[in-house]
Structure 1
Amino acid sequence: MEIWVNPACSKCRVALADLDAAGVDYTVRRYLDDPPTRAELEGVLAALGLEPWDIARQKEAAEEGLAFPRDADHRGDWLDGLAAHPRALQRPIITAADGTAVIGRDPGSVARAIEHEAGG
């Protein structure tokens, strides 16, 4: 299991505490220090079943100049923009060993990730 975190984010800290309490093994990726590549973003989006604009924090995206239309013609712009400006990504993003992923902003999402990691 891998979790993309910003240590300053309270939702990330809560998700990490939930993972610790569940006793699952995970790897922390500080995505601001080690930004995901476009290919990694594509993989996470496929696992999430979402589009790039769906995992963008709107305020931060606007501040970073990511104001593209939300359509197939601009999907590549969003991917390149998020790879170049990871501060605009929703967080935390958790990917389980079975390839499923969640945006762990609530306890239910984190619980689903833990369940997938445990093979349930």
Structure 2
Amino acid sequence: MSTSIKIYHNPACGTSRNTLALIKNTGIEPEIIEYLKNPPSKEQLVQLIHDAGLSVREALRQNVEPYINLQLEQSHWSDDALLYFMLQYPILINRPFVVTEKGTRLCRPSEVVLEILPLPQLGAFYKEDGEQIIDEHGQRVSG
């Protein structure tokens, strides 16, 4: 079975690292796109947001300096303007987006990725903070 997974990844982000580790816990090596170094095109970004079922504003990171400096919390900004800022300042793109044949998700929290992984987990998985997500049998631990 051929599987193709893309993750729009920021290695400095714990949620992104946990999501990547959950993908790798299936035995799949995904295509890793460090979107801060290689931002998506406008068309790719629009497609990611659409396929994830989000609005442009829902895909916008709010706890970063450009958001505050540009006063993006104000409602008068159009989707096109917000996309422009996201492409100019990729740190404004929320992450990690993951694309599989089963769908596209903004994986916040990281375990959202489990909804779209094509293969089961191979064993236990603990987030960086120690929280167990997957048991030793590859099953989701109920919270």
Taking the TM superposition and a 5 Å limit, the aligned residue runs for 1:29-108 are 29-60=33-64, 61-63=66-68, 65=70, 67=72, 69-70=74-75, 74-98=78-102, 100-108=103-111
Q: Higher relative contact order by CA 8 Å / sep ≥ 6: 1 or 2?
A: 1
Give structure 2 stretches of 5+ with no counterpart: 120-143
Mapped to 2, the partners of 1:89 and 1:107 lie a distance apart of: 16
The structure having more radius of gyration, on CA atoms, is: 2
RMSD of aligned Cα (Å): 2.0
Change (3 A) 1:96 1:39: same
Provide the secondary structure at the position in 1 that maps to 2:111: helix
CA distance in 2, matches of 1:25, 1:97: 15
SS of corresponding position for 1:111:
helix
Structure 1 spans left out of the alignment, 5+ residues: none
Percent identical residues? 21
- Structure 2 distance, partners of 1:66, 1:39, is 24
